[in-house]
Structure 1
Amino acid sequence: MTPTRQRATRQGGAVREALRAAGGFRSAQDVYAALRSDGDTVGLSTVYRHLQNLVDEGVVDVIHTPDGEATYRFCGGADTRRHHHHLVCRDCGRTEEIAGPAIERWADAVAQQHGYVDVDHTVELFGRCPSCASAE
């Protein structure tokens, strides 16, 4: 199923820019709070809707933290639309985009072994970045 492009709105643009400015993965609540602190009157349900639209467009990645919360990160640059994974600091949220050729080969082999096609996957690594680890 091909995602349908949503019409551009002021609120959608504000959500996109707030997420782009945030840099790392942020929850919908974080994006909402940033918008509100900037004086934007966007509602929380609107933030969720626009985040999902951005995920559907392929410019935002969503991952679930170890405690299950959905978090979002703008990955819409031309070089980041390729398939990638993330290494995320569980303290500060710093994120590195990483390639995983061994993971890709393994996923393809497992799918082929079981006769599956059109397989997709996500792999997210969580740890502590050098700055947070040295701050102890």
Structure 2
Amino acid sequence: MQPRRNTWQREAVRASLAEARGFVSAQQLHQALRDGGSTIGLATVYRTLAGLTETGEADTLQSPEGESLYRSCATQGHHHHLICRGCGDTRELSATVVEEWSQRVGAEHGFTEIEHVVDLFGLCERCRAQSE
């Protein structure tokens, strides 16, 4: 993979993503940048987010509604997320049991080079208390 040039657009997206709380869509990030006075285009935001995901600087996941969401990555390497459906608060998790299970299931079916995505969605204590 070729190193990416640091452009003002890349730095703006990286900074805005770092400031965001939890996972955000490309459209939400684009709007936050525009609200801050940036002239960056939506296509550039999408391209930049793809590049940040590729280099491991950002995490991506698919929301229960099927939308791609992004977050500044605090953990290097493979990990999972526990995400609040109410406020978007996110915890990064290592899940050894999931890793072992995925490898075992793959091997049982004759598969190798197993990859997986596991993200858990629920309500954090604060949001649960507010809904009661």
Instruction: Identify whether the pair has TM-score above 0.5, normalized to the shorter chain.
Output: yes
Structure 1 CA distance for aligned equivalents of residues 82 and 6 of structure 2: 31
Shift of 1:66: 0.5
Give TM-score scaled by structure 1 length. 0.92
Shift of 1:7: 1.1
Shift of 1:85: 0.3
Give TM-score scaled by structure 2 length. 0.94
CA contact (8 A) 1:23 1:74 kept: no
* Correspondence 1:101-116 to 2 at 5 A: 101-116=96-111
Gaps of 5+ in 1: none
CA contact (8 A) 1:84 1:98 kept: yes
Shift of 1:116: 2.1
1:63-117 deviations in Å (ceiling 9; x for gaps): 1110101000111x4xx10211000011111001111111110011112222322
Gaps of 5+ in 2: none
Match of 1:70 in 2: 68
Give percent identity, aligned residues only. 44
Structure 2 CA distance for aligned equivalents of residues 4 and 25 of structure 1: 26
Shift of 1:4: 2.6
Structure 2 CA distance for aligned equivalents of residues 120 and 60 of structure 1: 18
RMSD: 1.1
Across the two proteins, how many residue pairs are aligned to each other? 131
